[in-house]
Amino acid sequence: MGMTTAQKIFAAHLVDEPFAGTKVLGIDVVMCHEITTPIAIADLMARGKDRVFDTTKIKAVIDHVTPSKDSKTATQAKMLRDWARRHDIKDFFDIGANGVCHAIFPEKGFIRPGNTVIMGDSHTCTHGAFGAFAAGVGTTDLEVGILKGVCAFREPKTIRINLNGTLPKGVYAKDAILRVISELTVNGATDRVIEFGGPIVDAMTMESRMTLCNMAIEAGGTSGICAPDRVTVDYLWPFISDSFASKEAAVAEYAKWASDADAEYDKVIDLDLSNLTPLCTFGYKPDQVKSIEEMAGTPVDQVYVGSCTNGRIEDLRVAAQILKGKKIAPTVRGILSPATPQIYKEAVAEGLIQIFMDAGFCVTNPTCGACLGMSNGVLAEGEVCASTTNRNFMGRMGKGGMVHLLSPATAAASAIEGKLADPRKYL
Amino acid sequence: MKKFGGPVLFLDRSDINTDEIIPAKYLTEITKEDLKPYLLEDLKLPGFDPKSDKTFGAGAVVTRANFGCGSSREHAPWVFEVNGIHVVIAESFARIFRQNMFNCGMAAIELAPGQIDRLFTFADAADATIEVDVANTSLTIKGGGREESMQFEISPFDKALVLAGGWVDYADSKY
């Protein structure tokens, strides 16, 4: 019997199986941000164990509230900063160089096919786009990861999702993953890895694959996973060119992590998306999804483009294409947060920032901020936001606020009209 | 080892998420103890009063499916811990929340929907209490002059974490 990508990664990283069904894995990348890491640091200090297992495998960034908004968030940032300096963490990203963790770490080439990745952040599943096993964990798992470089898991089964056909005009990875979540429901993938394949995924950029994998957790999934291929190698090439004679050689090497043809899946779901319309969430759970045609006309107070889901350069390009030469509705606050400084610089160089600003958007620095209602765009009670983010829980972006999850294109169209709007008429 | 049980807080809804258990705006707190006043502050449940004595006097939670979905924040188990709630009993949990509970030496116990229904028959009893024996994987609920016991299953690893008081000491001694 063949193996899935997740099974291969588990087998290659197994450190211990203390009890049947529990596998302790060696971790290749332990990522840290300033919200969930400081309490781990404080606990390690209190235990007299203020050590790190490897200064090169731990990556750290201040991203959730940056620049700090008050004394408490300044203290959190300082705790992470002091710790990173104290332990000489090689890859630490602070003000001026910092961006949203799940955008900046892939951009730096830190995640490779076959890796194990953990972070004290539920959207860590994003990094499975590189053919890695990447799981969000709590602070205690993070703490042990920092100290020992290991993490315990129940070996997850794999749900295979084949995205068949071709995506129609105006329909993107965000719409595809909303469709998948509505199929699986919010806990349909609990203790499961979601493996995405099929012709639509094969044709996707790494940015789009990250958008897909990013929201695996919204169906309860442990990690998203896409098979590594030529697209993966092209993205990673600046970081791996010294290790391989050619791109073909890298593709051949990484192919060993792809699921075998006879791998056994928990279930296989085939979705033909050739007739998919732009989608949008309507309630307070990410599996409550409707066509934009049904939702069009719903007034919005704020439009947010950014986050680890949709704050990458291709997202900004799509939104800018729609916004070019237009003004957003006077009743709408438009906020753009490019996810990393690199993306921000590219957007400046390509003239995208000019388009957003001419349309009436406010452009903020890279940060998670508004997505989780921490800063830079928190909603007031009763307000509605059309958002390219990943979670629409009640109050997520501010107590009493309502969030509609949608693609950057749909966000841009909605900003122009001041209400949820179909982007296809602008393309 | 912690004490598992006490007066029961019944939360009759599925998909209660971590934003409801502890809103993100409190993630700027640096100590677990500082989270204490904010337990379940944004829970969307008709008739539920987060500031009541019932909420803060509880020693156990009984709820439905997919409890603790959403964020990975361990602040969710911590806000229960600092309020003396060391056990949550549900039809099912989100993976990260469940592991966070055991990693802290607390118990996230899954029961079949029918058994959860049995526990909910005690919801109207003002004096409902649950005692959980993790070592023997059994629990007893009492209230309104009635009493009922049942067995549950937890994985050997999760049980070991509870008995060890959490994952950090366990891992540091072993790896």
Q: State the nearest Cα–Cα gap between A417 and chain B, in angstroms.
A: 31
Interface test with B, best of A133, A393, A399 (most B CBs within 10 A): A393
Contact B72 A137 (CB under 8 A): yes
Which pLDDT score is estimated for B170? 86
What chain A residue is nearest to B167 in terms of C-alpha separation? A140
Residues of A numbered 37-56 whose beta carbons fall under 8 angstroms of chain B's beta carbons: which are they?
38-39, 42-43, 47, 49
The three state secondary structure string of chain B is CCCCEEEEEEECCCCCEHHHHCCHHHHHCCCCHHHHHHCCCCCCCCCCCCCCHHHHCCCEEEECCCECECCCCCHHHHHHHCCCCCEEEECCECHHHHHHHHHCCCEEEECCHHHHHHHHCCCCCCCCEEEEECCCCEEEEEECCEEEEEECCCCHHHHHHHHHCCHHHHHHHHC
Residues of chain B in contact with residue A63, where contact means CB-CB under 8 angstroms, are none
pLDDT tens for B64-106 read 999 999 999 999 999 999 999 999 999 999 999 999 999 999 9
Q: Is A136's Cβ below 8 Å from some Cβ in B? A: yes
Kindly tell me if the per-residue pLDDT of B1 is higher than 70: no
What domains can be seen in chain B, in order of their start residue?
5-174 (3.20.19.10)
Kindly tell me if the per-residue pLDDT of B172 is higher than 90: no
Which pLDDT score is estimated for A36? 96
Q: State the nearest Cα–Cα gap between B67 and chain A, in angstroms.
A: 10
CA dihedral A286, A290, A291, A297 (to 10 degrees): -100
Low-confidence ranges of chain A (pLDDT < 70): none
pLDDT tens for B3-35 read 899 999 999 999 999 999 999 999 999 899 999
What domains can be seen in chain A, in order of their start residue?
1-276 (3.30.499.10), 279-426 (3.30.499.10)
Which pLDDT score is estimated for B49? 95
pLDDT tier at B169, thresholds 50, 70, 90: confident
Residues of chain A in contact with residue B96, where contact means CB-CB under 8 angstroms, are 122, 136-138
Q: Please give the interface size between A and B, counted as residue pairs whose CB atoms are below 8 Å apart.
A: 146
How high is the mean pLDDT of chain B? 95
Which pLDDT score is estimated for B30? 84
Kindly tell me if the per-residue pLDDT of B2 is higher than 80: no
Which pLDDT score is estimated for A62? 98
